[in-house]
Structure formats: structure tokens, C-alpha cells
A and B are shown apart, each in its own frame.
Chain A
Amino acid sequence: MALNYDQAVAKYEPTLGLEVHVELNTKSKMFCGCATEFGASPNTQTCPICLGLPGALPVVNAKAIESSILIGLALNCSIAPFSRFARKNYFYPDMPKNFQTSQYDEPICVNGYLDVEIETDEGPKQFRVEIERVHMEEDTGKSLHVGGATGRIHGADYSLLDYNRAGIPLVEIVTKIVGGTGKYAPQVARAYVTELRDILRSLAVSDVKMEQGSMRCDVNLSLAPVGSNELGTRSETKNVNSLRSVERAVIGEVIRQSNRLEAGERIVQETRHFQEESGQTRSGRSKEQAEDYRYFPEPDLVPVAPAAQWIEELRASLPEKPSTRRKRLQELWNVPAKEMEAMVNAELLDVVEETIGLGAEPTRARSWWLGEVSRLANEREVAPTSLITPAQVAEVIALIESGELTDKLARQVVEGVVGGEGTPREVIDKRGLKVVSDDGALMVAIEAAIAAQPDTAERVRGGNLPAAGALIGAVMKATGGQADAAKVRELLLKHLGQG
């Protein structure tokens, strides 16, 4: 009988290791001035340097160093006063120089940690994930292997190479061994990658879009019998491209490995690929014969020696930790955790905060951004923040609160702003959107409604208040929806002797 997850973790203790690759969002590449824009035509963002032409030399992008230091500081790392690049030598067609300029034994940041919180059977619990290193490297080009069954280079009819990605700055964040999680290993892994993503986003150093590959995660996992102090043989699962997949990859590997062990088989140290559809991993290349990368210090680059004062300036500039900020705002705004998460995932926390800062009531600010603005953004397939500013949303909310706009009118105003018709005020003027609050004008409409439905009016006079709805509806219709329904109701009831 195959073990399921619960049975597996009852018998085996998982040990995690997580390697996260992050593409930095610098305007230019790691070692040359080429643009880094995603999705450009193949081989249009290249130059002699990132193509590795004979004679070309790299020069380090200072912004990438700054981003790496910021990441290290946010992860409580020590910043090396002196670090070096190294060459990792291996042949592959999409690697222009046939070595990758990376960092080896002298990374820029070392020895940090990140605390994450997960829900356990005993309530919320904190885990400390220790960080071994943060290092810089360049990305390779992209290969597209055409023909053949596997989509890999072996067996392909031909391969297409795009060097636009070659030389994009990458930062690799490697944890130390994460043990003691027990059955919560999947949640800890996910919480770590989530928190890391939020930190990187708050630092504005990366787009951290897992689906576009600007953040990629490798999950190392090994099992050992519960109670033993030894570590098992690990597998390295690549291609884990969403937060949910991180969790699923851990579960999948725990089940796979435990069943192999149960069957008396041994775990092979190898690279595995995560299968999005099945949640399982597939064997990649074996690492039994470790490749010899012949690392040596990159002679074309001088060592990186950031001034202590610069590091302190960067430390002072660090934004509030996302988890701290979330807690603070959640309490301040008094919102449920779920909604907080929705705002974070939609990347709307900043604008909501700004809108509230401009005087909007928290619930309204949240629901406008997550509701109407997000809906319009989805229709247009753009980011909500590109459609309207927090100041404009705050203005609309203020107009609602003052009674100048109804919710329904406000939606038209927002639609107008998004459609490029101008500021909320301009949209209101152009479209003539105004709550009819003039009692005289409303009374005319009310009397017309009574005249049109005398029987209904009579029932209201007789105390049948729900019957007023039909009259109110008629007034609203007559005023083109611009009347304040509550006001209409008040005037109508008073007029019919029920006020």
C-alpha cells in the first residue's frame, strides 16, 4: 500500500532547502548597457558584450549591486566588504561565453534569516528560515528546441537561440538546511517564498512574476526516518513556477521519496522537473557524476567592495518589512486577513494605503480598488494602478460621502476617468452627472409619480410603506438615476403623511 502524505510525514522527517532565482528589474543588463525589457523580438537586445564576441569585456551594473545589497539587508545578511565574481565553466549553446559570470566562494551577502508565520493545528506559529547566501550572476540566453519528442536539445531537429535574456542580472537566494518543520514543510516552503516575494516587491528590485520567470524556485528535499539525526539524499526540483506549486512540489516529493524508501529503494541525487498538471516531479539529469565547473575568480572584473557608509545608507532606506506593515495596516483598517491577502496578491496595498491617506474611508477605499477599478483593469488586461490615481479614487469617495454622488453615479465617474475623459470633476461636468438634491425638482417628480399611480399612493397613505418602492422607482427613473433614493423616500413619505 502506497503511503499518502500524512502517513509519509508520520514516518519520515522532511528537510528542505530552497534556492530562489530573481531577475532584477534594472533597466540595463548585468555587464553591459543592453535593455532588459521582457518580450522584445529575439536578439534585438544584444551587443558585443552579452553576445560574448571576441575581445568584449564586462563591466558591473552598479544598480544591480545596490539591489543585491538591499536584498541582503532585508534578509538580515552580513554584506561582504569584499566579494568577487567567478566563472562557472560549461558548454551550452545559449551561453555566449561558455562560462557564466557568477559568484562562488565570495558572495556579496551571507548568513541571514527570514521569519515566516504559518497556521498550525495549535494556531499561528513562527519558523525561522536561515539564509546561507545571496549572490549575483547573469542569466543565460533562451533555447527553443524544435522537433523531437522531449522538447530538449537531444533529439531536436534544430534549435533557435534568443540572447535577449543573456546577461540579465539575477540574484540567487539560497537557504541553509530547513529542518524541524515536520508535516508543515509544504506550508513553510510556501510561506518563505511568499514572504520573500513580498520583500523583493517592497524593495522594488524585481517584478517577482513567477509566471513570467522573473522569480524561479528550486526545491531541495530529503527525508530521514523520524528521530534519526542523519540527512537523507536530496533531490532538486526545478521549474516550480507558482506559490501553490512550491507547496505541491514539496508534498509530491515527500510522497515519492517516502514510497521509494518504503520499497527499499534508494533516493538518487538528481535534478527533477515539477509537472504543473499532476503535481508530481519527473527525473531530469542525474547529479551522481557532479559536473566540474572549474570555478575561478573572474579576471575581467575587479572585486566588489561596497563602502561601509553606502551600506548604512541603504540600510536606513529599507522600507518597513511587508509582514510588519501588513499587521499594522490590518489592525489600523480593521480588515479580515483574507481581504488583506487579496490586496497583497493584487498588488494594491500601496494604492489603497495612499487613498486612505488622502482621507478616504478604509472600507470604501478597499472596495473601490478591489472592485470596480480591478474589474475595469481586468477588462482591459492592464494593472489597476495604470488606470486611475489614488487621489482620483479618494476624490470620488469624498463626493460619495458628501452626498454629491451616489454609488451608481460614482461608477460612471470612475468609468469616465478610466476612459480618459479627465478628472472626476471634469467627468461629472461633461456627463452632467449630479445628484438631484433640489427639493423642488424632486417634488415635481414625486407629484408626477403620485398622479400616475394614484392607487399605490393611496395604499401608502393607508400605512402600506413597502408600496412606496414603486413610487420611488418611478421618481428615480424620471430623474435619470441622479436622485438620492433616500432623499426621495423621505420627501415622498412626508408628502403622503407618513414622514
Chain B
Amino acid sequence: MSDITIHSTAAQMSEALIAGSTTSVELTNAHFAQIEAVEPAVHAFLHLDKDGALAQAAEVDAKRARGEKLAPLAGVPLALKDVLAQQGVPTTAGSKMLEGWRPPYDATVVKKLKDAGVVILGKTNMDEFAMGSSTENSAYGNTHNPWDLTRIPGGSGGGSAAALAAFEAPLAIGTDTGGSIRQPAAVTGTVGVKPTYGGVSRYGLIAFSSSLDQAGPCARTVLDTALLHEAIAGYDQMDSTSINAPVPHVVAAAKKLDVKGLKIGVVKELLGEGFQAGVRQRFEEALEELVKAGAQIVEVSCPNFDYGLAAYYLIAPSEASSNLARFDSMRYGIRIGDDGTRSAEEVMSLTRHEGFGAEVKRRIILGTYALSSGYYDAYYGSAQKVRTLVKRDFDAAFAHVDVLVSPTCPTTAFKLGENTDDPLAMYLNDIATIPVNLAGIGGMSLPCGLAPEDGLPVGFQIMSPGMRDDLMYQVGGTLEAALVSKWGHTLLSQAPTLAGN
């Protein structure tokens, strides 16, 4: 192989593939070697598709050899969150309920990745049905944070983020309902983007909360994230909520490295009590870099964000209670208790009892209650009103500033097991990421340093107006370049060496 290694960026891999200094099969094999070395410690993947991936890689190499025109990321490996349907490949959404299910179809995102020649290595671990902030709700064991194996990798997309941080893949797909792309990115020192709602098709994304779910790109640099963003985004007639408009030019924006004249709003409500001191410190230092780069920083108040968390934990469980009703053992997935004596209703009930984990059951019960007649207006109805108010806060803010910023999470990665008995403490982790989902706008998390008190990564969140995803890439790309130049290295180069590194 050339000077390209598993530590290279996806953009570098792409260039090397185009230049012919490496092949996709070589790259794919190198990543599987790393996966074999570190998986016992990290457990980022639920399923590895080595045969499928190598076949895909060989096909891309053959096409390239024939001189066919290929997409920029053709031949670059990727880790896919297990919540997206991939034809013929086990897809569980982290739930026992779907053990052994092999979808008969590809999600639109998967189809686009395949069409672009991206090599799918396997499916990554996640909180069951994307419900959680630590990946501890997976039915298939914990994923460990490569920075400290006793800590959580974030959630729900902890597997995708850990795979990036452990150099098991240069690219990953996540999904973000309340922060499931951004919070794992923050606690693993990687980059993750939740695109504008409707910017990436949801077709084939196993639904948690339909009005909040959004698939998005994850990588180790802002530019890599942008390259993946453009590969998966765009209107899809299979998704009624998909936006029929051109994809924002995020790759060009990520390369701009200039924020002169941009107005950046710091959200007052997302900095106060409950935010770890080291998180605030690194966030504020990052702001200084943006000022140096020519941006104007102003403080902005979004008073209704305080109610965002409560609204989210009514809307998301309500939709989930309905979305998850289809898991009844009749057509797919596991079936429990069908011994010839029990009724369909009993079998459905036993299957749901066995197949769903505690957090999923908690949310189904919560959502069922919130939608019940007599409670609907007080709970679901009020939550929708709050949602509108949060949107208005954003609209008012974006009338004055180009993007908004905050720390991605109040704290760095907590210990595995630390919050498992305290759902409310777990929910609070999403306080800064949730407003973006409620408003349907775009949000990015990128690393802004290590917290002095624990030496763990801190995430910097950038929020951009709907369908102006380019703005967060512009600011993110500029900040990343400034920080790397200031540190003299990338943040991930400071991560401890795992067995395979």
C-alpha cells in the first residue's frame, strides 16, 4: 500500500484510489484487519459483511480499471448503523425483536451508497431502536469508547462513532432523533452531522420517531463528513417528507475555510448550569478561534429551549408507540410462545414482552399514555405547541445570526453503567441537541479539545437554518482547521493506542 493507512482521511483515500496508488480491496482488507484487532475491546459492530464488502471493493476496482467514471467516494469503506435496511444483510436496530431479520430491500441511503461505490463493511451497534444516549440499551452488548474503554461511546449511534474513533472505518452512517449522531461524535472526538429534516431520505430507516428521525454522515473530519453528506442526500420520491430541492453545496462549504463577516450566535440557555467546566472552557476557546478567523460572536436567547427536552420526551415516545406496534411476530422477527395452544394476541404479547428491552417498553408505555383519549391535549398536544415555540426561537435567532453554536453535550463521556438506573439523568445528556430535531434544522458536532479534568473529547455544536447545511460546514471546516493548526495535530491522534493501532 502507498502512504495511505487506516488513519488517513476518506478524502485522502479517495485521492489515492483515483491516483491508483491503492485499491479498494487493499483498503477494505486493511480495515478488516483493524476490526479483527480492536473489536474484542470496542465491539462497534453487530454484523460484519466481509464477503459482501470485498466483492463490492473488487467490483469498484474492476470498474476503475476499465476507466469507468466513479463517484468521489467509490471504493472507500463505511460502517452502517444497524437501523438502516440493507438487502439480505441482518438488520436488528439493536433489538432482540429483529434477531435474524434480513430485509428484502435496501434503504434509499444504502442504495445511494452502493450506487456511489462506497464499500459497506458491516452494521454498527446502537441503542435498541435508537432509544438511548450510551448504546447500553442494545440487546447485543455494550460498545466501548476507544478513548477510555470503561466509558460510553454515546448513543444511540455509539457503534458508528466508536468505529470511526478506533479507525475501523473512515466513514459511518448514523441517525439522529434527539442527538444520536452528534452526541456520540462529541464523546468520541469525531464529526457528525444531522442534516436538515427531509434532506436525506428516511426510506428504509427503521422508525423511532418519524417527525424527528434523520439519517446523516459521520467521519473524522469535516470535509469527509461533507463528502458523505453529498453522497446520501437529495430528494427521494419514496419519502413523502423528503424535500424536493437541490442539496446544499456542503463540500464546497467545508473547503472554504473562511468565516469573515459571518455572525455566530451563542445560545445562552445551552451553557449554564449542568455543563461541565472543562466543556465550557474548550467551547469558549473554540469561539476565540472563530473570532480570530473573522466571525462576529453574539449572545442569543432561545427561552423556549428549556421546555424542549420535556416536549421531546412526549413527541418521540408517542410516535414510537405507534411505529413499534408493527413488531408483533406475525410477519418477521422473533416469535415467542407459538406452541399451538396460544391465541395470536397472546403470542403477540409474549413476543413483545421478550423482544423489547426495558427502555423501549418505558417509551412505548409513555407514548401510549400521552396519546390516550383524555390525555392527548395535555401531553401530545402541548408538546406540539412547545415544538412550534422552539421553531420560532430559531426563526427569531436566525433573523440576526447565520448559525448558532453551543457545546454538543453538557459533559464528556460518562462511565458505562453510571446512568443506567437513572433515565432522567440519561435524558439530560440530550438537552443541547434536541432543539435542532424539534425544529427540523441542521446540526453538526465536531471536536474542540479534551476537557482538562478528564482528558476526554468535548464536542462543539453548530446549528444552521433549514436547507442551509452549507453554513455549518463552512463554520465547522474553518474551526477544525484553526484548532488543528493551533494544536499541531488532530484530536484523534491523541487517543490511546488500542491493540490494533
A residues adjacent to B (C-beta < 8 A):
48, 51-60, 87, 89, 91, 93, 96-99, 153-154, 159, 161, 292, 294-296, 299-302
Which chain B residues numbered 188 to 229 have a C-beta less than 8 Å away from chain A? Answer: 202-207, 209-211
Check B322 against A99 for contact (C-beta < 8 Å): yes
Other-chain residue from A53, A57, A159 in contact with B240 (beta carbon distance below 8 A)? A57
How near does chain A come to B365, taking the closest CB pair, in angstroms?
Answer: 13
The reply on B103 being an interface residue by CB < 8 A is yes
How near does chain A come to B375, taking the closest CB pair, in angstroms?
Answer: 10
Check B240 against A292 for contact (C-beta < 8 Å): no
Other-chain residue from B101, B371, B372 in contact with A54 (beta carbon distance below 8 A)? B101
Check B240 against A87 for contact (C-beta < 8 Å): no
Beyond known contacts A89-B321, A93-B328, A300-B207: 16 more, CB 8 A cutoff? A51-B331, A53-B332, A55-B85, A55-B206, A57-B203, A60-B240, A87-B322, A89-B322, A89-B371, A91-B328, A96-B326, A98-B328, A154-B343, A296-B376, A299-B209, A302-B241
A89 to B320, CA, bound (A): 12
Q: List 23 A-B pairs, Cβ < 8 Å.
A: A48-B103, A48-B104, A51-B331, A52-B326, A54-B93, A54-B103, A55-B107, A55-B205, A55-B206, A58-B240, A59-B240, A89-B325, A91-B328, A91-B348, A93-B328, A98-B328, A294-B321, A294-B368, A294-B373, A296-B371, A296-B376, A300-B210, A302-B241
Check A54 against B85 for contact (C-beta < 8 Å): yes
A294 to B364, CA, bound (A): 13
**Complex A-B, nearest 4 residue pairs according to Cβ-Cβ distance, in ascending order:** A98-B325, A299-B210, A294-B371, A299-B211
The residue on A at minimum CB distance from B331 is A51
Which B residues are in CB contact (< 8 Å) with A57? 202-203, 238-240
Check A296 against B85 for contact (C-beta < 8 Å): no
A55 to B205, CA, bound (A): 4
Which chain B residues numbered 16 to 75 have a C-beta less than 8 Å away from chain A? Answer: none
Check B373 against A292 for contact (C-beta < 8 Å): yes
How near does chain B come to A437, taking the closest CB pair, in angstroms?
Answer: 67
Check A97 against B325 for contact (C-beta < 8 Å): yes
Which B residues are in CB contact (< 8 Å) with A93? 328, 330, 344
Other-chain residue from B204, B328, B345 in contact with A56 (beta carbon distance below 8 A)? B204
A53 to B319, CA, bound (A): 17
Check B376 against A99 for contact (C-beta < 8 Å): no
The reply on B380 being an interface residue by CB < 8 A is yes
A53 to B104, CA, bound (A): 9
Which A residues are in CB contact (< 8 Å) with B319? 296, 299
Which chain B residues numbered 169 to 186 have a C-beta less than 8 Å away from chain A? Answer: none
A48 to B91, CA, bound (A): 15
Which A residues are in CB contact (< 8 Å) with B368? 294
A91 to B205, CA, bound (A): 22
A52 to B104, CA, bound (A): 12
The residue on A at minimum CB distance from B324 is A98
Which chain B residues numbered 298 to 337 have a C-beta less than 8 Å away from chain A? Answer: 318-319, 321-322, 325-328, 330-332
Which B residues are in CB contact (< 8 Å) with A154? 343
Check A54 against B331 for contact (C-beta < 8 Å): no
Check B240 against A48 for contact (C-beta < 8 Å): no
Check B204 against A99 for contact (C-beta < 8 Å): no
Which A residues are in CB contact (< 8 Å) with B207? 54-55, 300
A93 to B325, CA, bound (A): 11
Interface residue total, chain B, C-beta cutoff 8 A: 45
How near does chain B come to A309, taking the closest CB pair, in angstroms?
Answer: 20
A55, A89, A153, A161: most-surrounded residue (chain B CB, <10 A): A55
Check A97 against B330 for contact (C-beta < 8 Å): no
The residue on B at minimum CB distance from A290 is B373
The residue on B at minimum CB distance from A90 is B325
Check A294 against B85 for contact (C-beta < 8 Å): no
Check A296 against B380 for contact (C-beta < 8 Å): yes
A96 to B326, CA, bound (A): 6
Which chain B residues numbered 240 to 267 have a C-beta less than 8 Å away from chain A? Answer: 240-241
A26 to B330, CA, bound (A): 28
A409 to B85, CA, bound (A): 68
A54, A87, A154, A300: most-surrounded residue (chain B CB, <10 A): A54
How near does chain B come to A87, taking the closest CB pair, in angstroms?
Answer: 5
A52 to B329, CA, bound (A): 12
Check A54 against B237 for contact (C-beta < 8 Å): no
Check B98 against A292 for contact (C-beta < 8 Å): no
The residue on B at minimum CB distance from A294 is B371
A294 to B374, CA, bound (A): 10
Check B328 against A53 for contact (C-beta < 8 Å): no
How near does chain A come to B84, taking the closest CB pair, in angstroms?
Answer: 7
Which B residues are in CB contact (< 8 Å) with A299? 209-211, 241, 319
Which A residues are in CB contact (< 8 Å) with B85? 53-55
Which B residues are in CB contact (< 8 Å) with A96? 326, 331
A391 to B368, CA, bound (A): 62
Which B residues are in CB contact (< 8 Å) with A302? 240-241
Check B240 against A54 for contact (C-beta < 8 Å): no
A16 to B209, CA, bound (A): 41
Which A residues are in CB contact (< 8 Å) with B203? 55-57
A153 to B344, CA, bound (A): 9
Which B residues are in CB contact (< 8 Å) with A51? 331
Which chain B residues numbered 341 to 376 have a C-beta less than 8 Å away from chain A? Answer: 343-345, 348, 368, 371-373, 376
* Contacts A93-B344, A98-B325, A98-B328 given; does A300 touch B101 at CB 8 Å: no
The residue on B at minimum CB distance from A98 is B325
Check B326 against A97 for contact (C-beta < 8 Å): yes
Check B84 against A55 for contact (C-beta < 8 Å): yes
The residue on A at minimum CB distance from B205 is A55
Check B241 against A294 for contact (C-beta < 8 Å): no
Check A161 against B330 for contact (C-beta < 8 Å): yes
How near does chain B come to A259, taking the closest CB pair, in angstroms?
Answer: 34
Check A54 against B322 for contact (C-beta < 8 Å): no
Which A residues are in CB contact (< 8 Å) with B237? 59
The residue on A at minimum CB distance from B319 is A299
How near does chain B come to A288, taking the closest CB pair, in angstroms?
Answer: 15
Check A54 against B325 for contact (C-beta < 8 Å): no
A51, A52, A57: most-surrounded residue (chain B CB, <10 A): A57
How near does chain B come to A107, taking the closest CB pair, in angstroms?
Answer: 18
How near does chain A come to B12, taking the closest CB pair, in angstroms?
Answer: 33
The residue on A at minimum CB distance from B384 is A297
How near does chain A come to B95, taking the closest CB pair, in angstroms?
Answer: 10
The residue on A at minimum CB distance from B84 is A55
Which A residues are in CB contact (< 8 Å) with B318? 296
Which B residues are in CB contact (< 8 Å) with A97? 325-326
A60 to B239, CA, bound (A): 10
* Contacts A51-B331, A55-B85 given; does A294 touch B210 at CB 8 Å: no
The residue on B at minimum CB distance from A298 is B210
Which B residues are in CB contact (< 8 Å) with A53? 85, 103-105, 331-332
B98, B104, B209: most-surrounded residue (chain A CB, <10 A): B104
A59 to B319, CA, bound (A): 18
